[in-house]
Structure 1
Amino acid sequence: MMKLLRRTLIVAAIAAPAFAHAAATVDAPAPAFSAVTADGKTVSLADYKGKTVVLEWTNHDCPYVKKHYGSGNMQAQQKDAAAQGVVWLQVISSAPGQQGFVDGATAQKLNADRSAVPAATLLDPKGDLGKLYGAQTTPHLYVIKADGTLAYKGGIDSLATADKADIARAEPYVKEALAAVAAGKKVEKASTRPYGCSVKYAS
């Protein structure tokens, strides 16, 4: 039994994600990046200097993502953010052949069908952006202040379930983070546990 346990621990250590020491740290400058969007443009974080930015890791086939899109919760938060001048960016880090991988045209159709309104959808099939930020789950969200510092990272809310009925009674971490940033206040719960499906990086 002890040998099996040691072997399991060794395998787990080898399989530890490469982003375990990623540089996305609250109150520090958010890692700079550039990425290709679903409509074929190249954007960088620097393009949005002076604006609050939300990064939302997503996988349309994940039950936890379906919870927030199927209920309209994610779309509502995207619309509210846009109304406040916040730039909301979806990120798809699923690798080719993995759950959630889509090409640009499919990503755009998915958003149109769901009435989703991100400012852009970033395609990250190699996982470089996801690993840079240490994205672990779909959804996993980050809020970057206008000065480029990371204000929040973690779950969309406090209830780690795939049940739409739980949304109304959950603490809405991302909404609270955006409200604090808009008011010039420190985010009270600036780092929370993300929940959802694991990001489907290339194995």
Structure 2
Amino acid sequence: MKLHVVTFVLASFGAPVGLAPREQTPPAPEAKKEPKKEEKLAPAEVGKPAPDFTLTDVDGKLVKLSDFKGKIVVLEWFNQDCPYCQYAYGDAGPLKELPERMTKRGIVWLSINSGTSANADAAKKFLAARKSNARVLLDADGKVGTAYAAKTTPHCYVVDEKGVLRYRGALDNAPMGQVADRESKTNHVEAAVNALENGKAVTRQETKPYGCPVKYAKP
């Protein structure tokens, strides 16, 4: 009689007679998602493929370096607020006509504004005042400038038709138009381009750049 009562009570609470309750397995904790690491460009080295990049120009158009393979490309680091760039693009400066002359020869000339000075409106105003058709690309985070170790404005690079970096350094040997004693004026960029166009090796592959320091944003 007592056995029937116990059975009835257990059944009333939904517990199966003669079976121990099953232990529930706790759900496995969700694996933590690691934040994606920002891809860094390989550092530029003369004689090796130039680091590829994609930047937006001041008109909002995307520009990718590798799209110009088959052509000689000049990369010129630029800052509209730098006195050296203001002189270079002025009436007596070396960049008043050189980029346009080279463009007519089939050379690609890209001006890159890295860091805190990368401003589309300011660059447009600068170019319009000087009637320049230079194509300025914006590198606000400095990723491209860092890969190329661009230190000053202007700091120039020449890439050959195969995408290999052949020259990096100063635009010329005449900062603000001033040449050192007993030196004749030499445009290093033009000399490198001329050599490549004629199928010759660039004899002077690196020079010390001059100009305003590139102001990269602090991480």
Q: TM-score range by the shorter chain?
A: 0.7 to 0.9
Q: Which has the larger radius of gyration?
A: 2
1:57/1:140 contact within 8 Å kept: yes
The one-letter code sitting in structure 2 at the alignment partner of 1:109 is K
Give the structure with the higher percent helix.
Answer: 1
Match of 2:205 in 1: 190
Q: 2:133 aligns with which of 111, 117, 125?
A: 117
Q: Equivalents in 1 of 2:193, 2:215: separation in Å?
A: 27
> What does residue range 63-142 of structure 1 map to in structure 2 within 5 Å?
63-70=83-90, 71-95=92-116, 101-118=117-134, 120-142=135-157
Match of 1:24 in 2: 44
After TM superposition, where is structure 1 displaced by more than 6 Å over at least 4 residues in a row? Answer: none
Structure 1 unpaired stretches of 5+: 1-20, 96-100
Q: How many residues align?
A: 175
1:30/1:144 contact within 8 Å kept: yes
User: SS of 1:112's equivalent?
Assistant: helix
User: SS of 2:216's equivalent?
Assistant: coil
Instruction: Give me the CA root mean square deviation.
Output: 2.0
* Larger RCO, structure (CA 8 Å, separation 6 or more): 1
User: SS of 1:91's equivalent?
Assistant: strand
Q: Equivalents in 2 of 1:117, 1:175: separation in Å?
A: 18
Structure 2 unpaired stretches of 5+: 1-40
Q: Equivalents in 1 of 2:210, 2:160: separation in Å?
A: 23
Q: Equivalents in 2 of 1:43, 1:22: separation in Å?
A: 19
1:22/1:134 contact within 8 Å kept: no
Q: Equivalents in 1 of 2:129, 2:118: separation in Å?
A: 15
Give the Å deviation of 1:182: 0.6
Q: Equivalents in 1 of 2:167, 2:118: separation in Å?
A: 27
The one-letter code sitting in structure 1 at the alignment partner of 2:106 is G
Change in Cα spacing, 1:117 to 1:169, as seen in structure 2 (3 Å) is: farther
